[in-house]
Amino acid sequence: MCTTGGACGYLLTMRLGVLDIGSNTVHLLLVDAHYGAAPIPASKLKMPLRLAEHLTSDGRIDDAAVEELIGFIRQGQQLSEDKGATEVIVFATSAIREAGNGEDVLRRVQEATGISIEVLTGEAEARMTFLAARRWFGWSTGRLLVVDIGGGSLELASGVDEEPDVAVSLPLGAGRLTRSHLAGDPPTSDSLRALRRYVRAEIAAATGRIMRAGAPSMVAATSKTFRQLARIAGAAPSTEGMYARRTLSITDLQSLVNKLGGMTAAERTKLPGVSTGRAGQLVAGAVVAEAVMDLLDIKELVICPWALREGVILHRLDRLPE
C-alpha cells in the first residue's frame, strides 16, 4: 500500500496520448492523468482523413490515404514528443477493421513509423465508450444505456457496473449509410424511405438483447452526430463548456429528421453546431438516432462529453501498477 503520496508510481501524473484512427477523422488527444482522477486535456491534433471514402472498388484503402495516415502519425509522434508524452496508445476502428487490405495498412504504418496499431472490435468500442460514460455520470445513474453513432458503425451498451452486461456493434455508421443509401442533395424521398427501412430492421434485430438487460435509468449519447443534433434542437453551444447539461428528446429529433432530409448539405452547414465535413452525413445519422430512440422507447437522452478516446485512456490508467 502506498503511504508516501506522490512518490508512488500510480499517483504520479503522467502525460498520456491516444491516437484514434476512425472512419471520419484521425485524432490525437494528449492528457495529463493519474489513477483515480479525471484526465485533463493537454493538447490535440486531428485531420478529417475520411478513410472510408478512400476505398477502391474491391474494398481496399487506397495508397494516397495510407500515405496521408502515415504523415499524420508522424506529426502526432512529433507533437507527443514535444509535449512530453510518455506513452501513446494508437488504435483503429471500423474503417481499417473492415478494409480488404487492413493488415497491409497496419504493416505499412509500422514499417514507416514504428507504431503498432491495435484494431478494436466493435464490441470493444462499445465497452470502452461505456466505461467513459459510466465514469462521467457515476454510479448514481443506475443502469446506464450508452449510444454512439460513428462514421462506420453504431454501438450500444447497457449495464449497472463499469463493464456493460451487453455490448452491440452494428454496421450503421452515418458515413457508411450516406454512401450506401442516400442519393441526391437533398436526398430523394425514395432513398430516405429505403434507408429508414434498412436501419430499423437492423436495430430491431438487436433490441431484444438490449432490453433483456433491463430498462435503463439513464440513456447517454457520446457521438458527434448526437452533439450536433442536440445543438440544432437548442442545446448549449460548446462555448459553455463540457459541464453544461445537454439533452435531446425524441420529439425534437423526429421533427429534425424531416427538416434535415429536405435540406442540401450546404444548407445544413448554416445550422448551429454543424461543420462542413459532417453536414453530408447528418441526415443518415439523424435517421439512425431516431430509430434507436423510437425502437428502444427512449424519450430523452443526455449528451456525454467523454467517449471512446477517454474510455481507452481510463482503461489504460486502471492497469497501471500500484
Q: In this structure, which amino acid lies at residue 5? A: G
pLDDT for residue 4 is more than 50: no
H helix and E strand count, the chain:
12, 11
Claim to verify: residue 139 and residue 203 sit in the same structural domain: yes
Claim to verify: residue 151 and residue 252 sit in the same structural domain: yes
Closest to 112 (Cα-Cα) out of 82, 161, 77: 77
| pTM of the complete model | 0.92
Claim to verify: residue 136 and residue 29 sit in the same structural domain: no
Average pLDDT (222-242) is 95
pLDDT for residue 7 is more than 70: no
Q: Distance between CA atoms of 19 and 22, rounded to whole angstroms?
A: 9
pLDDT for residue 322 is more than 70: no
Query: How far from 141 is each of 133, 137, 151, 160, 162, CA to CA, in Å?
Result: 10, 7, 28, 9, 12
Contact 136, 305 (CB under 8 A): yes
Claim to verify: residue 267 and residue 185 sit in the same structural domain: yes
CATH of the domain at 55: 3.30.420.40
pLDDT for residue 5 is more than 70: no
Claim to verify: residue 262 and residue 202 sit in the same structural domain: yes
State the pLDDT at residue 321: 60
- Domain count for the chain, please give it: 2
Express each pLDDT in 71-120 by its tens digit.
999 999 999 999 999 999 999 999 999 999 999 999 999 999 999 999 99
Which burial class, exposed, middle or buried, applies to 75 when counting CB atoms under 10 A from its CB (0-12, 13-18, 19+)?
middle
Give the range of the structural domain holding residue 31, as residue numbers without chain letter: 5-119
| 314 inside domain | no
Percent of all residues in the chain with a pLDDT value above 70, rounded to a whole number: 95
pLDDT for residue 165 is more than 70: yes
pLDDT for residue 50 is more than 80: yes
Claim to verify: residue 154 and residue 244 sit in the same structural domain: yes
Grid coordinates 452533439 are at which residue?
227
Closest to 73 (Cα-Cα) out of 31, 51, 45: 45
Angle between helix 250-261 and helix 282-295 axes, rounded to 10 deg: 150
Going by DSSP bridges, is the β-strand pair 87-92/154-159 parallel, antiparallel, or unpaired? unpaired
Express each pLDDT in 276-320 by its tens digit.
888 999 999 999 999 999 999 999 999 999 999 999 999 988 887
State the pLDDT at residue 52: 81
pLDDT for residue 6 is more than 70: no
Angle between helix 282-295 and helix 174-181 axes, rounded to 10 deg: 110
pLDDT for residue 11 is more than 70: no
Instruction: Name the domain boundary from 119, 139, 173.
Output: 119
